[in-house]
Homo-oligomer: A and B are copies of this chain.
């Protein structure tokens, strides 16, 4: 529609990133477009095909999404204008999706036989029973809603196995696992499997989209399992100064901001340090301390310059003000003296307490 913003997100439809995009950009002013890979979302925003992009950044159980960090590191210089302008949190409620095993029709067997087969009882392929070799097994917080003994093969995104360890080790220990590109894709594959012996770790919304049965619900290890998504925009985008509910520009006027947004905003910066200068990282981190900028996350990835040389990602409380004023600008100037290749990746309003 005329004038609507295009929001690119990591698809397919019904993915957790889709949920994050809906949380941040709901209503008819937004056209949501699923893309295949995280790098496609970066490219769509860099090339101005999309006004905003939504990408996964970290999961509270599994940690950082390294593909997203590497796209911010941008070793190939393909996304030089991307900055972060917002964030969204989505609670991850994994389900086991598949096909309920139909009970054997009563007319073909005596009732005694049906009872013995009792195909709808929640019998599993394994148990969380203490043994000599594993005296303290992981305790799953849920059990299957139906019999899942017929499940032979599992599909999911690699991150999901790590988020559902207890349930998998208790009930599906012997099943073959196949990595696929997304939890939604996993559901799609199971829907097309006519044998009925495969299942997907995916979302409730994917069960609806792909008409699958929910064999178990809330199978993630931690009830507070949450993924954080970042909203990205193009730095030089013509709409980067428009006021908008869901994001803030990378640099902004903040005249009334007495404490540089330290209670309300977060910022992200990346840098490398001189490979030969062993103390450079320690000195770089001391700059943040000196200016009272408290770190909220810290990541490192290979820099691509030389082995064992890293690019560091520091996220901290506070925002960068226009005009070169404030603690953040002061810290960035000092950081430039000890670090190399420093890149500003944006300030945005923290959403953690509002999720």
Chain A interface residues (CB < 8 Å from chain B)? 59-64, 66, 76, 136, 138, 158, 179, 222, 224-226, 228, 278-279, 281-283, 285-286, 288-289, 292-302, 304, 306-308, 310, 312, 317, 352
By secondary structure, the A interface counts as: mixed
Tell me how far the C-beta of A122 lies from the nearest C-beta in chain B, rounded to whole angstroms: 25
Interface-centre pick from A226, A228, A289, A297 (highest chain B CB count, 10 A): A289
Between-chain CB contacts (< 8 Å), 18 pairs: A61-B304, A63-B66, A63-B300, A64-B300, A158-B179, A179-B179, A224-B306, A224-B307, A278-B294, A279-B294, A281-B294, A281-B298, A282-B285, A282-B289, A282-B293, A282-B295, A297-B300, A299-B300
The distance in angstroms between the C-alpha atoms of A60 and B301, with both chains bound, is 9
B residues in contact with A310, CB < 8 Å = 297-298
Query: With the chains together, A228 CA to B307 CA distance in Å?
Result: 10
CB < 8 Å neighbour of A282 from B62, B283, B288? B288
What residues of chain B lie closer than 8 Å to A295, measured between beta carbons? 281-282
A302:B61 contact, CB within 8 angstroms: yes
Nearest CB in chain B to that of A69: its residue: B63
Q: How many copies does the complex hold?
A: 2
Q: Are B301 and A63 in contact (CB under 8 A)?
A: yes
A297: chain B residues within 8 A (beta carbon): 300, 308, 310
Which of A59, A224, A295 has the most chain B CB atoms closer than 10 A to its own CB? A295
A308 and B63 contact, CB distance less than 8 A: no
State how many angstroms separate the Cβ of A323 from the closest Cβ of chain B: 26
Which of B60, B76, B281 contacts A308 (CB under 8 A)?
A: B60
The residues of B that contact A76 with a CB separation of less than 8 Å are 136, 138
Q: How far is the CB of A106 from chain B (nearest CB, A)?
A: 43
Known: A62-B302, A285-B285, A298-B310. 14 other contacts (CB 8 A): A60-B307, A76-B136, A226-B307, A228-B308, A278-B296, A279-B289, A279-B292, A281-B295, A281-B298, A282-B288, A282-B293, A282-B295, A296-B308, A298-B300
C-alpha spacing A226/B62, complex, angstroms? 25
Given contacts A282-B295, A289-B283, A300-B299, contact A308 B352 (CB under 8 A): yes
Contact A298–B278 (Cβ < 8 Å): no
A170 to B47, CA, bound (A): 23
A146 to chain B, nearest CB (A): 29
* A297–B300 CA distance with the chains assembled, in angstroms: 8
B-side contacts of A63, CB under 8 Å: 66, 300-302
Interface centre among A293, A300, A306 (most CB of B within 10 A): A300
Q: Are A278 and B317 in contact (CB under 8 A)?
A: yes
Complex Cα spacing A172 to B298, Å: 35
| A304 vs B60: C-alpha distance when bound (angstroms) | 8
Given contacts A286-B289, A289-B283, contact A60 B278 (CB under 8 A): no
Residues of B within 8 A of A304 (CB): 61
Min Cβ gap A315→B in Å is 11
